[in-house]
Amino acid sequence: MRISITVKLMMVASVLLAIPFIGYYYIWDMEKYLRVGQEQTLKNNAKALATALHNRPNLFNPHASYKDTLEQGKDFFPTEINDAILLDGKDEDWQQYSATRNINRYDYQNQIGSKLTKQQVSVEYSANIGRYKGFVYAFFNVTDDKLILRPENAISISNNDHLEIATIDYLGQLQRYIISNHKAGWVSAFKVSDVPGATPQNEPGIQGHLAITENGYNIEIRLKEDMLGDKVGFQILDVDSLQKPIQHVAVGTANTHDAQDLGTFTVPSPEIEAIIAAMGRTHSAITVVDKHSRILKHQGSIYNATGDYLEPLDLQQNTYSAGFSGNWISQFKQWVLEPFYQYLLTRPPKEFQIQAFDNRRHQNRHVNNALLRGRLDSIWWTTPDNKAVILSAAHPIYVDDKVMGAVVVEETTHGIRNIRNAAVEGVLLTSLFIFISVLALFLYTVRLSYRIRQLRNQTDALIDDNGRLRGMMTAATAKDEIGDLSRSFTDIIQQLGQYNDYLQNMSSRLSHELKTPVAVVRSSLEHLALTETDANKSVFVQRAQQGINRLHSILLAMSEATRLEQTIEHSEFESFDLAALVKGCSNSYQQIYQPQSFHVRISEEPTLFIGSDEHIAQLFDKLIANAVEFSDGSAIDIQLQNDKQQVQLSVSNKGPLLPDNMMLSIFDAMVSIRTLQQSNAESEQLHLGIGLYICRLIAEQHKGKIIAENLIDDSGVRFTLTLPK
């Protein structure tokens, strides 16, 4: 299979095209390794933070941390409030914190000290508790069919509808507070004691507002965090009649007179924030939870959490071509490369949806493993809008070899994606440069191949089928290897042309130069033959006479070929009937070559042809003479075929076959395969191989061709002359 230089060079150059694909797959492998590295780094960060929090019991609620399960509505974890609450007894400020997990509801099922039926209990309420900058806020929305406030001159503060709050102070003592108003407005808070005869004291640390509603009333209060200990309980006491004995119905979280019945109240320790801040984790979202998965501290935003070693990248500014200068680079990227970026690169979004930590049930498997099994774990998960991938690692926090909580460190893969995008951008630019280079190489190879083909065509056009020069080459002016080769060919062709002219004119020159000495020798031999000589000398004279006759025949043949070649070049063509010419010549051959027989097949219709009838007849004569000489006595077949494009004249004879290596060169000058044949007993006939050479000259002059081939059955030889009309 023939493969051109252009194809070969492009096959070699195509190896360069593998570089972009290798780079692209390398980038994906790099991203995979970066993910593994980010995961390992995040685990180490979680481990480091957890180590800093180990064995610090004051960071956790001692009561809640040791409970296996928490009671809803009794064990409290106040909601983190973003802004201060206006104490007006209205719920507008609490709307954004009104999720189900923040509000606890109480009804007849939460009675304290009684077991009345649902119809007998006329009070129910909801409570929402939050914290903001060292204060605890609480909002109670009470539904009561009959509100009884404290009379203005009443001594007792509990014989009416009121709110009781109980807690354990830092000394382990039970502290109780009652909010009992005689009218709507600013709340009246009292600190009470179970000691007999003790008088309630005003409590200025509790502020708030009581507002009467259509269905009951609202109580909105604020108190300092240090007033509440690790355990808290509250209850609403409902009084439907002031007639003695006054009956109370208590609905709440616990018996405020029993310290053991109080629920837990967990407020994150400020030490956690100080420890995390000291660790300097600025590129991760950090969450510290207790053993019940309640958030004790959250620091950092997941939207900016890309990892410490993966700084946020701006794909528009931090690119592969950032090292180049000039506005054309930016314009080129904007107009040419930007469309490719839209399809190949996924830019990390600045905004994406993310669920609150408490609602990630399917994404908290690693947290459960840390809290329940005490082992480090991590997971990859996708945001609900599929715009971001989050990596989260959780490590347990130990206090006295018991798991008290966990550190959860989270990051996005935006940093990795930015690095990948920058690398892909570099691959795109490199691929573009490689493509341009391959294209330039392709154009160069096409140009190089064209010049080589042009040199080949120019060289082929100089030599005909017989090896003769048709003209001279024009040397190329290019100063490279192909130009040098063209100039070398030009010099060689010029030298070959001179030598070819010498060979073509040699026969006529020899014929002209040898005529005079041959005539002198011949006349001398004739005079010598007339003188008397002895018998021995006459034999040598006779042999010399035969040799000079042969030399004379050679000169005549060479002169005939030269004259014929010149005659053919200057002959004029005219229209004649080729069929009539062949038919007439064939009839003459029947008489000349008796007893040789001929089988002639010629169309009866005229075959008009434009050429030299004299030279065509001469060609036909030499083919017939050659066929008769080599015929084994069988009939010689003559056939003339005619179609719209060309005519074919073939002469076939039975006899010796042509050697395979002589079928093409038999039409060259001075080429003959004859052996010396005795024509009679006294003389020899010389054959110089001029006849078929003359046939070729006549065929070429008529823009035709002549070939010799063995018959299919190897019984003889056929000569076929093909002439275009």
Lowest-confidence pick of 66-70, 90-94, 369-373, 554-558 = 554-558
pTM over 0.85: no
Residue 40 has pLDDT above 60, yes or no: yes
Q: How far apart are CA 252 and CA 233, in angstroms?
A: 8
Average pLDDT estimate for 651-669: 83
- Residue predicted with more confidence, 512 or 592: 592
**β-sheet with 646-654: strand ranges across:** 598-602, 636-642, 646-654, 716-724, 705-710
Q: How far apart are CA 118 and CA 107, in angstroms?
A: 8
Q: How far apart are CA 243 and CA 565, in angstroms?
A: 156
Residues 425 and 20: beta-carbon distance below 8 Å = no
Lowest-confidence pick of 73-82, 349-358, 635-644 = 349-358
Q: What three-state secondary structure class fits 468?
A: coil
Confidence of residue 322 (pLDDT cuts 50, 70, 90): very low
Q: For residues 527-552, b (16+ Cβ closer than 10 Å) or e, as one string?
A: eeeeeeeeeeeeeeeeebbeebeebb
Confidence of residue 431 (pLDDT cuts 50, 70, 90): confident
Residue 480 has pLDDT above 50, yes or no: yes
The pLDDT assigned to 318 comes to: 41
Model pLDDT for residues 112-121, shown as the tens digit of each residue: 988 888 888 9
Structure tokens at 277: 């801040």
CA-based torsion, 299, 300, 306, 307: positive or negative: negative
Half-sphere exposure of 382 toward its Cβ, with a 13 Å CA cutoff?
5
All residues at 6 or more sequence positions from 461 whose CB lies less than 8 Å from its CB, including other chains: 470, 471
Confidence of residue 165 (pLDDT cuts 50, 70, 90): very high
Q: How far apart are CA 179 and CA 162, in angstroms?
A: 6
Confidence of residue 536 (pLDDT cuts 50, 70, 90): low
Q: How far apart are CA 453 and CA 464, in angstroms?
A: 18
What single DSSP character describes residue 445? H
Residues 312 and 302: beta-carbon distance below 8 Å = no
Average pLDDT estimate for 84-106: 85
Residue 53 has pLDDT above 50, yes or no: yes
Three-point CA angle 607, 610, 616, nearest 5°: 80
Q: How far apart are CA 107 and CA 405, in angstroms?
A: 33
How far, in whole angstroms, is CA 37 from its chain's centroid? 26
